C-alpha cells in the first residue's frame, strides 16, 4: 500500500507550488489524479513506457485498451500525432480546450503502451485550469484514462478517485466536482466522414455544425469481443455501478410503467429497488417504497450528465439490490447519457422485446 497524498487546489487559480510539485511527480514517472472538465484523470508521463504501464496496473485495466494523451494546446498536436489532416486542426482550433478527443496516426515518440500497440493515438486538450497548468508545468504530454478501477463508474469528485485508487497512486489533486460529468467525445478523424467512437461531453450537433456529417460506429463495433475493439470504451458493461442496473430504452410512459411494475414485484419480494428518473417523473413514484434519484430536468441534459455518475455511486452506497433507469432521448448530452447507461446495464429492455410484458417473471 502506497501513501496517497490529497491536496486541495483552487479550481480556477491552482496554487503554483502544488502544480509544480505534482508536475515533478509526473516527470519522475509517478501517478497523479487530476481534474479535467469531464471527469478526473489518472495521469502519467505519456513519453515514458514504465510510467504508463503503472496506470494499467493500478486500474487493473487490460493492456489492449489504449489511453488518451492530454496536451496543453492545439499546437501540441504534432508532438503526439503525425499526418494530421486539416479537419483535425479545424476541430482542435474550434473545440479545444474542451471535451473532444481526436484519434489520429501516432507520432513515433509515443510508446506502444499508450496506444495498446496500435497505429493511432487519441489526443485531447482539456478545459480545466488545473489540468492545463499541470500539463504545462510537466512539460510533457500526459497520458490519462479516467481515474477509476477498470469497468467502474468514472470519478467526478476526488472522493470517487480515493474510493477506487486510494493507496495505489502518488497524489490526488482535489479541485471539487468536475463541471461536465461525462467523458469526452472520442472522434476518429482517420475516417471520412469522421466517426464518433464514444459520444461524450461535446455533442453530435456541435460536431455536425462544423463537419456537416459525422458517423456513429457500425453496430458490429459495439459487440463485446475478445480481440481489441476499435475503441474498447465501447465494450459492454463498462462505466458500471456495482449494483445490477436495468436500462429501459424506449418512450417515457412505457419505461415508467415497466419500471413501476417491476419495482412493485421486487419490493413485494423484499428487494430494495433504486430508480433513476427526471424531475417530472417524481410524482409517478410518490408513496412507493423505491429509492428515487432525480437526475434533473429532461431538457437540461447538461445538468443530468453532471449528476449521472454521482447518482450511480449514491445508489451503490444506499445498498439497493437493483437499479432501474430510463432513457432521456438523444438530444444534447442525452446521447452520452444513453450510451453510459446502456453500457452500465446488465440488461437493456426495449419496447419491441418479445418478453417485455413478462419481465416481472424474471429475476435480475
Ligand atoms: O474525458 C475523458 O476522455 C477522460 C478524461 C480524463 O480526459 N478520459 C477518459 O479516458 O475517459 P478513458 O481511458 O477512460 O477512455 C478513453 C477512451 C476509451 O474508450 C479508449 O478505448 C478510447 O478512448 N481510445 C483511446 N485511444 C484510442 C485509439 N487510439 N483509438 C480508438 N479509441 C481510443
Ligand atoms: Mg474510463
pLDDT tens track for 249-283:
999 999 999 999 999 999 999 999 999 999 999 99
Q: What is the mean pLDDT of the segment spanning 347-358?
A: 76
Q: Would the pLDDT of 220 be above 50?
A: no
Cα dihedral: 135, 139, 141, 145 (round 10): -40
Give residue 218's pLDDT band: very low, low, confident or very high (50, 70, 90): confident
Percent of the chain exceeding pLDDT 70 equals 92
Q: In what order do the strands lie in the sheet with 245-248?
A: 291-294, 273-277, 322-326, 245-248, 347-349
Give residue 226's pLDDT band: very low, low, confident or very high (50, 70, 90): very low
Q: What is the mean pLDDT of the segment spanning 322-340?
A: 97
Q: What is the mean pLDDT of the segment spanning 326-335?
A: 97
State the Cα–Cα distance between residues 115 and 135, nearest whole angstrom.
Answer: 19
Q: How high is the pLDDT of residue 355?
A: 57
Ligand 1: does its nearest atom lie under 6 Å from the Cβ of 231? yes
Measured from the Cα of 61, ligand 1's closest atom is 13
Measured from the Cα of 200, ligand 1's closest atom is 1
State the Cα–Cα distance between residues 222 and 207, nearest whole angstrom.
Answer: 21
Q: How high is the pLDDT of residue 129?
A: 98
Ligand nearest to the backbone CA of 36: 1
Give residue 352's pLDDT band: very low, low, confident or very high (50, 70, 90): confident
How many Cα neighbours within 13 Å face the side chain of 217?
Answer: 21
Ligand nearest to the backbone CA of 101: 1
Q: How high is the pLDDT of residue 221?
A: 47
State the Cα–Cα distance between residues 61 and 180, nearest whole angstrom.
Answer: 24
Q: Would the pLDDT of 230 be above 70?
A: no
Q: What is the mean pLDDT of the segment spanning 286-312?
A: 96
CA 285 to ligand 2 centroid distance, Å: 32
Nearest to 32 by CA among 44, 20, 14, 49: 44
Q: Are 154 and 101 in contact (CB under 8 A)?
A: no
Q: Would the pLDDT of 360 be above 70?
A: no
Ligand nearest to the backbone CA of 149: 2
Ligand 1: does its nearest atom lie under 6 Å from the Cβ of 35? no
Ligand nearest to the backbone CA of 201: 1
Spell out which residues have Cβ within 5 A of ligand 2, the ion: 146
Q: What backbone phi and psi angles, to 5 degrees, belong to 219?
A: -55, -35
Indicate the pTM of the whole model. Answer: 0.94
**Average pLDDT along the chain:** 93
Q: What is the mean pLDDT of the segment spanning 302-322?
A: 97
Structure confidence by residue, pLDDT tens digits, 158-216: 999 999 999 999 999 999 999 999 999 999 999 999 999 999 999 999 999 999 999 99
Ligand 1: does its nearest atom lie under 6 Å from the Cβ of 144? yes
CA 281 to ligand 1 centroid distance, Å: 33
Pairing mode of beta strands 291-294, 5-8: unpaired
Q: Would the pLDDT of 121 be above 90?
A: yes
Give residue 217's pLDDT band: very low, low, confident or very high (50, 70, 90): confident
Ligand 1: does its nearest atom lie under 6 Å from the Cβ of 67? yes
Q: Would the pLDDT of 232 be above 70?
A: no
Nearby residues of 167 by Cβ (< 8 Å), 6 or more positions away: 1, 2, 3, 4
Q: How high is the pLDDT of residue 227?
A: 38
Ligand 1: does its nearest atom lie under 6 Å from the Cβ of 121? yes
Q: Are 246 and 364 in contact (CB under 8 A)?
A: yes
Structure confidence by residue, pLDDT tens digits, 23-52: 999 999 999 999 999 999 999 999 999 999
| Three-state DSSP state, 102 | strand
Specify burial of residue 341 (Cβ count, 10 A radius: 0-12, 13-18, 19+). Answer: buried
Ligand 1: does its nearest atom lie under 6 Å from the Cβ of 185? no
Measured from the Cα of 40, ligand 1's closest atom is 6
Amino acid at each position: 500500500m502506497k501513501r496517497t497524498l490529497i491536496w486541495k487546489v483552487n479550481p480556477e487559480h491552482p496554487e503554483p507550488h502544488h502544480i509544480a510539485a505534482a508536475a515533478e511527480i509526473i516527470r519522475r514517472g509517478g501517478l497523479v489524479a487530476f481534474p479535467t472538465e469531464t471527469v478526473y484523470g489518472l495521469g502519467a508521463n505519456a513519453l515514458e513506457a514504465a510510467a504508463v504501464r503503472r496506470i494499467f496496473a493500478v486500474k487493473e485495466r487490460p493492456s489492449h485498451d489504449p489511453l488518451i494523451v492530454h496536451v496543453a494546446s492545439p499546437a501540441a498536436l504534432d508532438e503526439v500525432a503525425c499526418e494530421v489532416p486539416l479537419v483535425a486542426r479545424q476541430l482542435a482550433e474550434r473545440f479545444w480546450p474542451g471535451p473532444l478527443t481526436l484519434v489520429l496516426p501516432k507520432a513515433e515518440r509515443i510508446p506502444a503502451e499508450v496506444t495498446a500497440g496500435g497505429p493511432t493515438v487519441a489526443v485531447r486538450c482539456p478545459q480545466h485550469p488545473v489540468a492545463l497548468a499541470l500539463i504545462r508545468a510537466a512539460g510533457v504530454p500526459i497520458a490519462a484514462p479516467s481515474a477509476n478501477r477498470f469497468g467502474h463508474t468514472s470519478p467526478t469528485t476526488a472522493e470517487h478517485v480515493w474510493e477506487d485508487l486510494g493507496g495505489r497512486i502518488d497524489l490526488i489533486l482535489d479541485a471539487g466536482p468536475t463541471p461536465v460529468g461525462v467523458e469526452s467525445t472520442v472522434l476518429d478523424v482517420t475516417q471520412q466522414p469522421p466517426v464518433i467512437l464514444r459520444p461524450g461531453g461535446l455533442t453530435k450537433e456541435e460536431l455536425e455544425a462544423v463537419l456537416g456529417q459525422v458517423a456513429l460506429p457500425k453496430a458490429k463495433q459495439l459487440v463485446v469481443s475478445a480481440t481489441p475493439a476499435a475503441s474498447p470504451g465501447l465494450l459492454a458493461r463498462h462505466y458500471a455501478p456495482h449494483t445490477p442496473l436495468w436500462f429501459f430504452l424506449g418512450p417515457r410512459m412505457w419505461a415508467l410503467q415497466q419500471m413501476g411494475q417491476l419495482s412493485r414485484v421486487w419490493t413485494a419480494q423484499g428487494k430494495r429497488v433504486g430508480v433513476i428518473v427526471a424531475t417530472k417523473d417524481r410524482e409517478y413514484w410518490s408513496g412507493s417504497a423505491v429509492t428515487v434519484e432525480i437526475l434533473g430536468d429532461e431538457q437540461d441534459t447538461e445538468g443530468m450528465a453532471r449528476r449521472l455518475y454521482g447518482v450511480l455511486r449514491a445508489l451503490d452506497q444506499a445498498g439497493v439490490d437493483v437499479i432501474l433507469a430510463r432513457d432521456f432521448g438523444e438530444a444534447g448530452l442525452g446521447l452520452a447519457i444513453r450510451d453510459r447507461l446502456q453500457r452500465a446495464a446488465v440488461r437493456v429492455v426495449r419496447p419491441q422485446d418479445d418478453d417485455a410484458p413478462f419481465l416481472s417473471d424474471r429475476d435480475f
